[in-house]
């Protein structure tokens, strides 16, 4: 019903994943394979294309009137997919999650205040904190039995009177960790004890594979709802990142008023119509597409993990419970980080995200986006096999 194997030519279409590759990595897109930014190479759900086509065919593209249907579609989606009951009045649309994070920082903290991040973590967290002249307080994740865990005792000891906000990524990017309700409750308790605002970025919440289940922070710890802001979007789930629409959700009217004041002060209270139409259509019509996408992505994950670990003996791909961003530790290969990076970029002509971008704990790791049609993934894996072929030969010799 949905052809995720279909390769769609995206070069020359303003697709950042392809058309920014040369500028950012030096790899020519005519021959290179982009596996960096979290953007999928699949066609959007048909209901999204139909809604946008109807808008285009009408031919009038004036200011968007928010009649409440967008928030209602979000409320329905969260209730259906995550058993999460929210009210439309708790929702503030923003032009994407990262801009929402910046607006939240402006609403609840001052320059010089500290914001907790759990590295390795989504790099834009660091960027938006620094751009808003706040300071990053790194709470290093620890790997235990193949998944990340938070060391909250260590974090407690490092909090200062200037620590105001915690940025949680749930599920976590990179690493695809789906946090348990207990883990979320423990973090919530720390936030309550130290009077911190908890920002739970749940943009990846729909991209969770069979066997794991996303728990919204609001569900795990309703007792801290007054200090919680949840960020959600249709854009990651349905590959509509260019739509630039997200939502900040909070039950606390004082927090919401402060956030809405920042939104208003930046002139962002009037929304991008194309983005609102596309994302509403996605929530209303995209469920069957998503249900078909998830097993496709899970097969890509399994294929990628098996072949990268065989291609580069000693490499280890963290088992993802969610997201489509393979997180690979090359330190066991015995190769230096710049050698690994050069093999991937120059021999395989693949643009993967460099681990250090995600903060401490990312050295000699690379993040690979495998949300691409299988023919492209197969080609990427063949190239990676070639790029590390000498390593396998040496491993075979050593075992004789």
Ligand X SMILES: Cc1ncc(COP(=O)(O)O)c(C=O)c1O
Q: Please report how close the Cβ of residue 14 comes to ligand X at its closest, in angstroms.
A: 15
Q: Given candidates 246, 275, 286, 361, which one binds ligand X under the rule CB under 6 A? A: 246
Contact status: 97 vs ligand X (CB under 6 A) = yes
Q: Which stretch binds ligand X (CB under 6 A): 92-100, 127-135, 187-195, 209-217?
A: 92-100
Q: Given candidates 91, 241, 249, 278, which one binds ligand X under the rule CB under 6 A? A: 241
Contact status: 233 vs ligand X (CB under 6 A) = yes
Q: Given candidates 36, 90, 122, 218, which one binds ligand X under the rule CB under 6 A? A: 122
- Residue 262 makes CB contacts below 8 A (sequence gap 6+) with 103, 104, 106, 107
Q: Please report how close the Cβ of residue 159 comes to ligand X at its closest, in angstroms.
A: 23
Contact status: 230 vs ligand X (CB under 6 A) = no
Contact status: 169 vs ligand X (CB under 6 A) = yes
Angstrom distance (rounded) from CA 297 to CA 357: 24
The CA-atom distances, in angstroms, between 375 and each of 38, 300, 371, 379, 382 are 19, 11, 11, 6, 11
- Using alpha carbons, select from 31, 375, 100, 126 the residue that is nearest to residue 255: 100
Angstrom distance (rounded) from CA 93 to CA 100: 8
Q: What are 187's two structure tokens?
A: 């973090």
Q: Which stretch binds ligand X (CB under 6 A): 10-18, 94-102, 133-141, 366-374?
A: 94-102
Pairing of strands 325-329, 365-369: antiparallel
Contact status: 321 vs ligand X (CB under 6 A) = no
Contact status: 371 vs ligand X (CB under 6 A) = no
The CA-atom distances, in angstroms, between 140 and each of 116, 182, 337, 343, 354 are 10, 19, 20, 28, 18
Contact status: 177 vs ligand X (CB under 6 A) = no
Contact status: 36 vs ligand X (CB under 6 A) = no
Contact status: 115 vs ligand X (CB under 6 A) = no
Q: Please report how close the Cβ of residue 59 comes to ligand X at its closest, in angstroms.
A: 28
- Grouping H, G, I as helix, E, B as strand and the rest as coil, residue 115 is strand
The CA-atom distances, in angstroms, between 308 and each of 5, 168, 279, 384, 385 are 21, 29, 34, 7, 7
CB 262 within 8 A of CB 256: no
Angstrom distance (rounded) from CA 235 to CA 249: 16
Contact status: 38 vs ligand X (CB under 6 A) = yes
CB count, 10 Å around CB of 356? Answer: 16
Please identify, using beta-carbon distances, which residue of 47 and 96 lies nearer to ligand X. Answer: 96
Q: Which stretch binds ligand X (CB under 6 A): 24-32, 96-104, 152-160, 385-393?
A: 96-104
Q: Please report how close the Cβ of residue 168 comes to ligand X at its closest, in angstroms.
A: 10
Contact status: 228 vs ligand X (CB under 6 A) = no
Q: Please report how close the Cβ of residue 120 comes to ligand X at its closest, in angstroms.
A: 12
Q: Please report how close the Cβ of residue 137 comes to ligand X at its closest, in angstroms.
A: 18
Contact status: 318 vs ligand X (CB under 6 A) = no
CB count, 10 Å around CB of 387? Answer: 21
Q: Given candidates 92, 106, 132, 173, which one binds ligand X under the rule CB under 6 A? A: 173
Q: Please report how close the Cβ of residue 243 comes to ligand X at its closest, in angstroms.
A: 9
Contact status: 207 vs ligand X (CB under 6 A) = no
Q: What is the residue-wise DSSP string for 60-99?
A: ---PPP--SHHHHHHHHHHHHHH-----GGGEEEESSHHH
Q: What are 94's two structure tokens?
A: 């923003």
Q: Given candidates 27, 35, 51, 98, which one binds ligand X under the rule CB under 6 A? A: 98
Q: What are 52's two structure tokens?
A: 């946008």
Contact status: 250 vs ligand X (CB under 6 A) = no
Q: Given candidates 235, 279, 353, 369, which one binds ligand X under the rule CB under 6 A? A: 235
Contact status: 201 vs ligand X (CB under 6 A) = yes
Query: Beta partners for 199?
Result: 167, 229
Contact status: 277 vs ligand X (CB under 6 A) = no
Please identify, using beta-carbon distances, which residue of 38 and 335 lies nearer to ligand X. Answer: 38
φ/ψ of 8, rounded to 5, equals -105, 125
Q: Which residues bind ligand X (CB under 6 A)?
A: 38, 96-98, 122, 169, 173, 201, 203, 233, 235, 241, 246
């Amino acid at each position: 019903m949905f052809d995720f194997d279909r390769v769609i030519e995206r070069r020359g279409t303003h697709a950042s994943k392809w058309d920014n590759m040369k500028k950012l990595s030096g790899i020519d897109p005519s021959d290179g394979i982009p596996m960096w930014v979290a953007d999928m190479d699949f066609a959007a759900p048909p209901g999204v294309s139909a809604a946008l086509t109807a808008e285009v065919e009408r031919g009038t593209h004036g200011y968007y009137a928010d009649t409440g249907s967008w928030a209602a579609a979000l409320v329905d989606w969260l209730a259906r997919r995550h058993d999460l009951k929210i009210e439309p009045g708790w929702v503030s649309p923003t032009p994407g999650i990262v801009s929402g994070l910046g607006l939240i920082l402006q609403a609840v903290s001052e320059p010089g205040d500290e914001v907790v991040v759990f590295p390795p973590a989504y790099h834009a967290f660091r960027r938006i904190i620094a751009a808003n002249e706040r300071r990053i307080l790194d709470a290093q994740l620890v790997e235990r039995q193949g998944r990340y865990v938070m060391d909250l005792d260590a974090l407690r000891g490092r909090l200062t009177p200037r620590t105001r906000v915690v940025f949680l990524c749930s599920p976590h990017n990179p690493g695809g960790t789906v946090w348990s309700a207990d883990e979320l409750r423990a973090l919530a308790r720390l936030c309550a004890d130290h009077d911190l605002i908890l920002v739970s970025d749940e943009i990846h919440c729909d991209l969770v594979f069979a066997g794991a289940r996303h728990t919204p922070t609001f569900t795990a710890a309703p007792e801290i709802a007054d200090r919680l802001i949840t960020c959600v979007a249709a854009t990651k789930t349905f590959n509509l990142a260019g739509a630039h629409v997200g939502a900040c959700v909070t039950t606390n009217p004082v927090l919401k008023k402060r956030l809405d004041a920042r939104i208003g002060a930046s002139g962002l209270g009037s929304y991008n119509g194309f983005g609102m139409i596309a994302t509403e259509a996605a929530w209303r019509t995209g469920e069957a597409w998503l249900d078909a996408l998830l097993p496709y992505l899970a097969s890509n994950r399994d294929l990628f993990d098996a072949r990268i670990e065989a291609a580069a003996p000693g490499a280890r791909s963290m088992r993802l419970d969610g997201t489509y961003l393979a997180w690979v530790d090359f330190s066991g290969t015995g190769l230096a980080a710049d050698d690994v990076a050069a093999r991937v970029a120059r021999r395989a002509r693949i643009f993967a995200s460099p681990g250090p971008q995600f903060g401490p704990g990312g050295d000699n790791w690379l993040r690979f986006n495998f949300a691409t049609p299988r023919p492209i993934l197969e080609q990427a894996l063949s190239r990676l096999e070639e790029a590390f072929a000498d390593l396998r030969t040496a491993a075979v010799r050593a075992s004789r």
